């Protein structure tokens, strides 16, 4: 299986997974990067997966259907998305590209956000999580509650440690600045910052990133750690409870520049 991160807009990634013949694309906010990749690799698009309804994730749907004909679209329906062929249920499994895929409901960024896990034989699982989880960060709460997002992140944190996280945005360096403010003495964080700075300087993506790494450096997955708790309590957390810590961190991050 080949995984491609197709740049779109200023900092989006459209993820395309293919086996040399057929392809699945996740969150095509623009059509042209997808069409170009299909032409370059002589691929047939067999399914479109949508995580949520924001325009930078669905803006290319109509153009793809116009160019390629009717391609099955899988995604949330409660958000009013047109053209959805199937609305997957939490835990539902699909066979795309001959792989076992699992769907997770991960509300928070939006109320009806989905994530997709591809189980690739002899390789680490792939998680396509839209705007729920970012490297060193998480999505803003546009519709869901802090409790919903915290629960969603906990679900993702419980996946196998070697899971490769395919986030929808290249926000890593900005997120790391906030993470270092929270945990300035985190040695793993210092090492990861240096790695990501080298990658971006070379015009390389910081993604995908393994869950094992995120559990060491992402403050939104570390709400039980003493340094993270102390930082959150200094910025409004009502208690050391991880859910309260998360809510304070997310509110703080909303105003961080």
255: annotated binding-site residue? Answer: no
pLDDT for the residue 104: 98
Alpha-carbon dihedral sign for residues 99, 105, 110, 112: positive
109: annotated binding-site residue? Answer: yes
pLDDT for the residue 36: 98
Active site residue 56: yes
Active site residue 57: yes
Q: pLDDT, tens digit, for every residue of 5-23?
A: 999 999 999 999 999 999 9
Of 169, 209, 205, nearest to 4 (Cα)? 205
Domains defined for the chain, CATH in brackets: 2-166 (3.60.15.10), 171-255 (no CATH)
Query: Cα–Cα distance between 110 and 131 in angstroms, integer?
Result: 9
CB 166 within 8 A of CB 25: no
Query: Cα–Cα distance between 88 and 110 in angstroms, integer?
Result: 16
Catalytic residue among 18, 53, 57, 113: 57
pLDDT band at 84; cut points 50, 70, 90: confident
Q: pLDDT, tens digit, for every residue of 189-211?
A: 999 999 999 999 999 999 999 99
54: annotated binding-site residue? Answer: yes
For the record, the structure tokens of 243 come out as 């859910």
Catalytic residue among 52, 53, 112, 113: 52
90: annotated binding-site residue? Answer: no
Degrees (nearest 5) of the Cα angle 222, 129, 44? 155
> C-alpha distances in angstroms, 39 versus 42, 67, 69, 216, 248?
5, 12, 15, 39, 46
Active site residue 131: yes
For the record, the structure tokens of 209 come out as 């990133």
Q: pLDDT, tens digit, for every residue of 90-135?
A: 999 999 999 999 999 999 999 999 999 999 999 999 999 999 999 9
């Amino acid at each position: 299986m080949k995984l491609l991160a197709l740049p779109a807009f200023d900092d989006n990634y459209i993820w395309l997974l293919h086996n040399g013949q057929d392809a699945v694309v996740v969150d095509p906010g623009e059509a042209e990067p997808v069409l170009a990749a299909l032409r370059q690799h002589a691929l047939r698009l067999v399914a479109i997966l949508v995580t949520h309804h924001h325009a930078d994730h669905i803006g290319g749907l109509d153009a793809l259907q116009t160019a390629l004909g009717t391609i099955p679209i899988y995604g949330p329906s409660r958000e009013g998305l047109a053209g959805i062929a199937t609305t997957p249920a939490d835990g539902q499994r699909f066979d795309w590209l001959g792989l076992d895929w699992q769907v997770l409901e991960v509300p928070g960024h939006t109320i009806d956000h989905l994530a997709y896990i591809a189980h690739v034989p002899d390789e680490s699982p792939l998680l396509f999580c839209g705007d729920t989880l970012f490297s060193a960060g998480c999505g803003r709460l546009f519709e869901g509650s802090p409790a919903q997002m915290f629960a969603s992140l906990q679900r993702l944190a419980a996946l196998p440690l070697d899971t490769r996280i395919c986030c929808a945005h290249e926000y890593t360096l900005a997120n790391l600045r906030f993470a270092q403010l929270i945990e300035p003495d985190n040695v793993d964080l210092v090492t990861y910052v240096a790695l990501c700075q080298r990658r971006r300087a070379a015009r390389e993506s910081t993604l995908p990133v393994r869950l094992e790494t995120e559990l060491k450096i992402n403050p939104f997955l570390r709400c039980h750690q003493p340094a993270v708790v102390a930082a959150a309590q200094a910025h409004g957390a009502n208690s050391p409870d991880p859910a309260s810590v998360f809510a304070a961190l997310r509110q703080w991050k909303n105003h961080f520049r």
